[in-house]
Structure 1
Amino acid sequence: MTMLHTTELTNWAVDLIDVHKTYRRKVKALRGVHVQVGRGEVFGLLGPNGAGKSTLVKIMMTVVHPDRALGTVLGRPIGHRGKLGRIGYLPENHRYPGYLRGEQLLDFYGALSKVPRVQRRKNAAYWLERVGMKDWAGTRIREYSKGMMQRLGLAQALMNDPELLVLDEPTDGVDPVGRRDIRLLLTELKGQGKTILLNSHLLSEIELVCDRVAIMKEGLVARQGPLRDLTERVLGYRVRLGGERAANAARIGSMSEKLAAMGARIEDHVVQLASQEIGRVNELIDLLRAGGLLIESVEPRRLSLEEVFVEVLGAGSHVGAARPT
């Protein structure tokens, strides 16, 4: 194994460069990955199963050793265990001893992170309340649902007041209200200056909380950058109508052929135009106004993260490594 080190202090909480990992039977899990996570940002790590996401996270957590790598995590070289006390980690499909109570589990993990006993008790009570598990603190874990296990796991990852929070599928099995609560908590933690690396298959969740994302495919980072940059391309326009729906329906019916010829369609009081040309938008607005319709708003329809994801995965079997932006 070749481990290249750098000690230069940067604004990156995670700076992984040219990371390679091949398992037995010559399975190439990582083929030169370059990922940078800025301090104080929420970063989304995306990709299909087998893309190498879990291997990359395990290398960060020193569970797996890379064949070759350059870079740092929290200013320490890759593989340096001294940084682990500053990281909170929620692995995917985590398992906890069912005979323990929630508060006991948090005390145990706090002790592993060398949190003083008195502070452990305070932290456990605080985080159990924050994740909505206060009333279940004294209940044995075997009685917890999947969603409750996820909440407990998040509290566990926060017991040591980490600088970097690494969360693997944190909302898996959590109901919509619980997912909203977790999003709000992550936003609050970001406001406190914590760095969050989020791995989730729920692209809608990623899109709501992340500043930057990396999409992995076949052991490479195929696309990476600020979320707003990846989704800036305009696919068309939405023209929202005002006025009475019944009256509008009659007016639209009289111009349905012209709308269809322009590539426009009506959906829930909104006219969708599948064209990026401003001239076509102006033509549509003129047509609607001439028909007696009130225009309430006009806004571009940009590429969604899901559409970017599908586009990347459909780009062919071989993709080049994307550099961070």
Structure 2
Amino acid sequence: MREDVEFVGHVAAVRSPARLVKRKDAVAVSSPPGRGMVVRADLEQVFRSAYPRVVAVAARVLGSRDQAEDVAQEVFLTFGRSSVPATEALGWLTVAAAHTALNHLRSGRRRASREEAAGGGDGRPWPAVGPVSAPSLESPAVWCSGLRKRYRRQVAVDDVSFTVQRGEVLGLLGPNGAGKTSAIKFLLGLVRPDAGEVLLLGRPGRDPASRARVGYLPELFRYQPWLTVAEVLALHVRLAGAAVPDRERRECLATVGLADRAGDRVGGFSKGMQQRLGLAVALVARPELVILDEPTSALDPLGRADVRDLLLALKDRKVAVLLNSHLIGEVERVCDRVVILDKGRVAAAGTLAELLGGRELRLRLDGVSDAAAARLAATGALTRSGSVFTVALPAEPDADLVPALIADLVALGVRVHAVEPARVTLEERLLDILRTGAAA
């Protein structure tokens, strides 16, 4: 499909085979020009190069090319009336496209009228991207779509998309080599994907400013052994460009259990102590998004409990957390949602309730007749392993369901040795998803 831009006087037209949008005074020329702002000559080039990208970003959100073109028209008309630095034009348009499409998706207004195109999807003007304006708190902490990466013949990541909302803890699960660490590196700008889009805290992932409010604990790291704990923390505060008072640094060390080790050199620390220091480094600059890659590795049970409490405290402060961990029990305790990766693709995603499904009832029985087996099967899906019968229960079973079942079984002559309510664990569900995928 061919798109181009026409300029007639002060009228800018974004043209596609099915659409032609015009608006007077859509070209804003700064006065005086020449300070890096977008002027007429630059604007035509920006429109030509950015229109396919803006439509692609909106289409990934909305799932419709036609609706994406409506969003693109809104975004370009707003852009034409704004004063955006030329160096930030492409990033501004990408963020605006995702933001406007998400607002359309939330409100159900998939098609905005052209008269309202000068504002954002919720009727408010879209702020300029840059240090002069902070991103909206309504934008997700992480939004990525269609991430792909190939290393020669090996596909590491294939069409991975997910979001992390503000104040949400998202667990990233999967076997070794599933693409979890690669996805994290894409978010942090450490590796460039072959395809796909990333937004961090409302800014394009390519923009270094998007990572200014991100805390990161890598899986493997090493600090200079001659530095003390306090010096390591001070170094990373300077690298982050943040102003963190000494009191807050001490509180951060106390949070990870290192309050009395501030003057000790890092070279003498165990792996678990270095892990605690890594958590402090990730948190010291007051991040709005924290990405933790195996944060509980090498920690003792007490340290793992401390990390759980820390994650819940971050959630209470509306800090978003992306947690990559092989300790499935920890993920099940603290995560709101889970994304399961397998062979570079999203194998499953959802809340724990959505992934784990309903509850089960396990019974150890003797003397089960055909009538008793039929009574069990009438309650829910039935499986048997020797004398153990497992009955699937509804997500919200009636309070009298289990007592009535037991009473009926006894009346039918069944000897009941044990009754145990149960639920599929996240580990069992994960293994089932991975094995099913492997078999397919």
Residue of 272, 275, 284 corresponding to 2:406: 284
1:179 aligns with 2:304: yes
Residues 110 and 120 of structure 1 are in contact (CA less than 8 Å); yes or no, is this contact kept in structure 2? no
Q: CA 1:13 to 1:205, structure 2 compared with 1: closer, same or farther past 3 Å?
A: same
Match of 1:133 in 2: 258
Residues 6 and 71 of structure 1 are in contact (CA less than 8 Å); yes or no, is this contact kept in structure 2? no
Q: How many percent identity over aligned positions? A: 38
Residues 204 and 210 of structure 2 are in contact (CA less than 8 Å); yes or no, is this contact kept in structure 1? no
Cα distance in 2 for partners of 1:222, 1:32 equals 11
1:21 aligns with 2:149: yes
1:306 aligns with 2:427: yes
Paired amino acid for 1:43: L
Match of 2:348 in 1: 223
Question: Normalising to structure 1: TM-score of the pair?
Answer: 0.81
Match of 2:366 in 1: 257
Question: Structure 1: which 5+ residue stretches go unaligned?
Answer: 240-251, 267-271, 320-325
Cα distance in 1 for partners of 2:168, 2:178 equals 23
Match of 2:60 in 1: none
Paired amino acid for 1:284: I
Residue of 285, 288, 291 corresponding to 1:160: 285
Residues 358 and 392 of structure 2 are in contact (CA less than 8 Å); yes or no, is this contact kept in structure 1? no
**Residue 6 of structure 1: CA displacement?**
3.5
Cα distance in 1 for partners of 2:167, 2:207 equals 21
Paired amino acid for 1:26: R
**Residue 26 of structure 1: CA displacement?**
2.4
The superposition leaves residues 264-318 of structure 1 with CA deviations (integer Å, 9 ceiling, x where unpaired) of: 899xxxxx741226888744344469899999xx774222110111011101348
The superposition leaves residues 169-207 of structure 1 with CA deviations (integer Å, 9 ceiling, x where unpaired) of: 001011111111110111011101100000000000000
Residue of 275, 284, 289 corresponding to 2:391: 275
Cα distance in 2 for partners of 1:137, 1:49 equals 35
Cα distance in 2 for partners of 1:177, 1:286 equals 46
Paired amino acid for 1:29: A
Match of 1:245 in 2: none
- Structure of greater Rg: 2
Q: Please state whether the residue corresponding to 1:316 is helix, strand or coil.
A: helix
Cα distance in 1 for partners of 2:267, 2:173 equals 31
Residues 358 and 393 of structure 2 are in contact (CA less than 8 Å); yes or no, is this contact kept in structure 1? no
Paired amino acid for 1:182: V
Cα distance in 1 for partners of 2:290, 2:331 equals 15
Match of 1:30 in 2: 157
Cα distance in 2 for partners of 1:102, 1:16 equals 35
Aligned residues: 292
Question: Structure 2: which 5+ residue stretches go unaligned?
Answer: 1-51, 58-93, 100-137, 374-383, 395-400
Cα distance in 1 for partners of 2:405, 2:216 equals 54
- Pairing 1:78-227 to 2, within 5 Å after superposition: 78-116=205-243, 119-227=244-352
Q: CA 1:87 to 1:288, structure 2 compared with 1: closer, same or farther past 3 Å?
A: farther
Cα distance in 1 for partners of 2:435, 2:242 equals 47
Q: Please state whether the residue corresponding to 1:193 is helix, strand or coil.
A: coil
**Residue 138 of structure 1: CA displacement?**
0.9
Residues 273 and 281 of structure 1 are in contact (CA less than 8 Å); yes or no, is this contact kept in structure 2? no
Paired amino acid for 1:201: H
Q: Please state whether the residue corresponding to 1:31 is helix, strand or coil.
A: strand
Q: CA 1:273 to 1:317, structure 2 compared with 1: closer, same or farther past 3 Å?
A: closer
**Residue 29 of structure 1: CA displacement?**
0.8
Residues 200 and 211 of structure 2 are in contact (CA less than 8 Å); yes or no, is this contact kept in structure 1? no
**Residue 51 of structure 1: CA displacement?**
0.6
Residues 133 and 152 of structure 1 are in contact (CA less than 8 Å); yes or no, is this contact kept in structure 2? yes
Q: CA 1:277 to 1:126, structure 2 compared with 1: closer, same or farther past 3 Å?
A: closer
Cα distance in 2 for partners of 1:318, 1:79 equals 38
Question: Normalising to structure 2: TM-score of the pair?
Answer: 0.61
Q: Please state whether the residue corresponding to 1:93 is helix, strand or coil.
A: coil
Q: CA 1:66 to 1:291, structure 2 compared with 1: closer, same or farther past 3 Å?
A: closer
After superposition, the CA RMSD in angstroms is 3.0
Residues 14 and 36 of structure 1 are in contact (CA less than 8 Å); yes or no, is this contact kept in structure 2? yes
Paired amino acid for 1:276: A
Residues 295 and 325 of structure 2 are in contact (CA less than 8 Å); yes or no, is this contact kept in structure 1? yes
1:53 aligns with 2:180: yes
Residues 52 and 219 of structure 1 are in contact (CA less than 8 Å); yes or no, is this contact kept in structure 2? yes
Residue of 58, 70, 91 corresponding to 2:197: 70
Q: Which has the higher strand share?
A: 1
Residue of 21, 39, 48 corresponding to 2:166: 39
Paired amino acid for 2:207: H
Which structure carries more relative contact order (alpha carbon 8 Å, separation 6+)? 1
Q: CA 1:299 to 1:291, structure 2 compared with 1: closer, same or farther past 3 Å?
A: closer
